[in-house]
């Protein structure tokens, strides 16, 4: 299990930002803490989970296709990180 975490605070994003290598087929546990309410969307596996303002959401997924996939705050179109799956 690969653990990733991201924190959205004000206009900045901290944690595993940028481009993160992820192994194809290996489970990932992603924790996102956000001070704004939005929907965290993991592209590729195409999973979306709401996160409340000031709350945390944990998403578990396994990427099953190679490529570079974004994790973003869907409604605000804020790219939080990119998963380089190979």
Partner 1 sequence: MPMSVAMPPADPVVLAHAVSVRSDLPVPLLAVLVAGAAAVVVSFVALGALWRTSRLRGDEAGRVLPTSAQRLLDSRLLRGVLRAVVLVVTLFVLVVALLGPRESAFNLAPYAFYVTFWVGLVPASLLLGPVWRAVNPLRTLHAGLAYLSGPAPGAAVLPRLGLWPATAFLLAYAWVELVLPDRAVPRTLGVLLVAYIGVQLLAALWYGPQWFAAGDAFEAYSTLLGRLSPLGRRADGRWVLRNPLDGVDATPRVPGLAAFVTALVATTAFDGLGRTTYYQDNYVLNGDEIGVPTLGLALTVLLVGGLYAGAAALATRAARGDSADDSSGAALFAHSLVPIAAGYAVAHYFSLLFFEGQLTWILASNPFGVDGVDLFGTYRNTVDLTVLSPRTIAGVQVGAVIGGHVLAVVLAHDRAVRVAGLHRTARTAQYPLLALMVGLTLLALRLLLG
Strands 38-42, 67-73: parallel, antiparallel or unpaired by DSSP?
antiparallel
What's the closest the beta carbon of residue 67 comes to partner 1, in angstroms? 4
List 1, 11, 21, 53, residue binding partner 1 (CB under 8 A): 11
Give the separation between CA 72 and CA 64, rounded to whole angstroms: 19
- 67 binds partner 1, rule: CB under 8 A: yes
- 14 binds partner 1, rule: CB under 8 A: no
Site residues for partner 1, 17-56, by CB under 8 A, read 36, 39, 41, 43-44, 46-49
């Amino acid at each position: 299990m690969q653990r990733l975490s991201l924190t959205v605070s004000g206009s900045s994003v901290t944690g595993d930002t940028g481009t993160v290598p992820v192994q194809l087929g290996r489970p990932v546990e992603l924790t996102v803490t956000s001070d704004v309410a939005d929907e965290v969307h993991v592209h590729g596996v195409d999973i979306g989970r709401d996160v409340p303002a000031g709350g945390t959401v944990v998403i578990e997924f396994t990427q099953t296709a190679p490529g570079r996939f974004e994790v973003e705050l869907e409604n605000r179109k804020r790219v939080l990180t990119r998963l380089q799956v190979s």
